[in-house]
Amino acid sequence: PPPEPKRWAYSASLGFTGGSDKGGNNISMSAYIDAVRTGENTTFKTYASMNKTRSDGERTAERYIGGLDFEHRPSDYCTWYVRDEAQHNRFSDYKLRNVLGAGYGLYFWNTKTEGRTSLLRFRLGLAHTYVEHYTHKWPNSASEDRVKDSDMALDLGLLFHYDFVCGVSWNTELTYTPLFDDLDKGTLVHESKLSYLMQELGMVNEKLSDISLEAGIRNEYQTRPEPGNCHTDTTWYLRLKKSW
């Protein structure tokens, strides 16, 4: 009988860089893990990531992200989804930022040939955003009384993925959540990465045949950030990824 299809797939990646310049020494670490369960008409994904940077002994970046994404496909092209993502980022003044979204998705392109996947997906839904600020507090309030924002928003998303023949793949994901009561205010998140499956390592040891090298960039753009914060938070990374 044919083997049962693989339901769960896991991956973990780690990046670690260091150096020195006129401003002093800097060291950076990033990590990402995920678990994906694929059913006949459903896909469930949970993930977590971490990024920290120190420059001359002082921390200059610190971000933790965790989330889940559930998708039901009544047909090959139409989907319904629910997603939730939480983030802590002290340098963007997020003690906690949570986005809970749900809506409709459409695959314009979704093919799989000889194990290579190509897809283009668009999402449109509603979201609830909650932000508890790290340092921004109400005037004349107690030190622990931080400003909290709770808003409804649109949830827009675009995902493009393409696997090349040579073991290289490209992945780009965009999400944008403009607020209902102020459409000029929103958060745009962009991440693009290029992965190379290092098949040559399989010649040394079969257990190394599913190790990849990832290079990517993540941008988080706020159209109207809080006073004192930048519009864009950008992270570059180079990581080794292990899948099983």
| pLDDT, tens only, 75-84 | 989 999 999 9
Position 35 scores a pLDDT of: 97
Question: What pTM was estimated for this model as a whole?
Answer: 0.85
Q: Which one of 90-104, 149-163, 179-193, 213-227 scores highest in mean pLDDT?
A: 149-163
- Closest by CA position to 223, among listed 172, 191, 192, 189: 189
Angle value at C-alpha 119, between 117 and 125, nearest 5 degrees: 140
Strand partners, 17: 28
Residue 89 · residue 233 · CB < 8 Å: yes
Note the pLDDT tens digit of each residue in 11-22. Answer: 999 998 655 544
User: What is the residue-averaged pLDDT of the chain?
Assistant: 86
Strand 8-21 and strand 232-243: the pairing is antiparallel
Note the pLDDT tens digit of each residue in 144-193. Answer: 567 888 999 999 999 999 999 888 999 999 999 999 988 888 999 999 99
Higher pLDDT, 177 or 208: 177
- Please check the confidence at residue 140 and state whether its pLDDT lies above 60: no
Residue 220 · residue 187 · CB < 8 Å: yes
| For residues 24-47, average pLDDT | 89
Position 22 scores a pLDDT of: 47
The encoded tokens of residue 209 equal: 């045949």
Position 230 scores a pLDDT of: 67
